[in-house]
């Protein structure tokens, strides 16, 4: 009988990628509205850039990248960002004019309270409150 080693050495989620039509507009949104910090903004070839943003102190970054050929913006990213005060974040983003759900969804344990927001391209992500 043959034994196959299926373990790999992945230790964490490093980067998630969100397609955007305008990287400068996305930088302004993620840093100005969400309070993320810009971690990288470097040229890739003659016309492209690699841009990463992240919440202060976070290990995982978000790469805001141009869509690939045939790829659309305005997607449901299925990315969830964590907060310790869902109601304050919902109110703050709403007051800043960010496209957020009307209310925080509260489904009961074990599902955390959450709401969706959309970036300028219509990409939808979640903010969830972890205990």
What integer pLDDT is reported at residue 22 of this predicted model?
97
Q: Which residue has the tokens 């489904």?
A: 107
What integer pLDDT is reported at residue 131 of this predicted model?
76
Q: Where on the phi/psi map is residue 57: left (φ > 0), alpha (ψ -120 to 50), or beta?
A: left
Q: Give the residue ranges of DSSP H helices in the chain.
A: 23-28, 86-95
Residue extents of the structural domains in the chain: 15-129
Q: Is the pLDDT of residue 75 over 70?
A: yes
What integer pLDDT is reported at residue 104 of this predicted model?
98
Beta bridge partner(s), residue 19: 65
Residue/partner pairs of 55-58 with CB below 8 Å, 24 or more apart: 55/81
Q: How far is Cα 10 from Cα 50, in angstroms, rounded to an integer?
A: 22
What integer pLDDT is reported at residue 1 of this predicted model?
64
Q: What is the fold of 15-129? A: 2,3-Dihydroxybiphenyl 1,2-Dioxygenase; domain 1 (3.10.180)
Average pLDDT on 74-79 reads 95
pLDDT tens sequence across 49-61: 999 999 999 999 9
Question: How many helices, marked H, and strands, marked E, lie in the chain?
Answer: 2, 8
Sign of CA pseudo-dihedral 93, 99, 102, 105: negative
């Amino acid at each position: 009988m043959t034994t196959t080693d299926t373990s790999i050495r992945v230790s964490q989620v490093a980067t998630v990628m969100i397609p955007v039509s305008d990287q400068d507009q996305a930088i302004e949104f993620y840093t100005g509205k969400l309070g993320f910090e810009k971690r990288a903004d470097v040229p890739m070839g003659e016309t492209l850039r690699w841009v990463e943003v992240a919440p202060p102190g976070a290990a995982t970054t978000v790469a805001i990248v141009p869509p690939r050929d045939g790829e659309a913006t305005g997607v449901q990213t299925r990315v969830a960002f964590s907060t310790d005060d869902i109601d304050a974040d919902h109110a703050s983003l709403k007051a800043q004019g960010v496209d957020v759900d009307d209310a925080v969804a509260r489904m009961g344990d074990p599902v955390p309270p959450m709401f969706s927001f959309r970036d300028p391209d219509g990409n939808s992500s979640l903010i969830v409150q972890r205990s």
